Amino acid sequence: MKEWFAVAVGGMLGALLRHVISVGFAYIHPAWLPIATLTANMVGCFAIGVLAEWSHLHSVTREWWVVGARVGLLGGLTTYSAFALDVVRLWHENRNLQSVAFVAGHVILGVLAVVLGVQLARAWQAAEVTASGN
What pLDDT does 17 receive?
96
The per-residue pLDDT for range 56-88, each reduced to its tens digit, is: 999 999 999 999 999 999 999 987 887 888 889
Contact 13, 78 (CB under 8 A): no
Domain boundaries, the chain: 2-93, 96-134
Helices (H), the chain: 2-28, 33-57, 64-67, 74-77, 80-92, 96-132
Nearby residues of 70 by Cβ (< 8 Å), 6 or more positions away: 48, 51, 52, 55, 82
Contact 67, 1 (CB under 8 A): no
Burial of 45 (0-12, 13-18, 19+ CB in 10 A): buried
**Is residue 51 scored above 90 in pLDDT?**
yes
Predicted TM-score (pTM) of this structure: 0.72
- Measured CA to CA, the distance from residue 134 to residue 132 in angstroms comes to 6
**Is residue 16 scored above 80 in pLDDT?**
yes
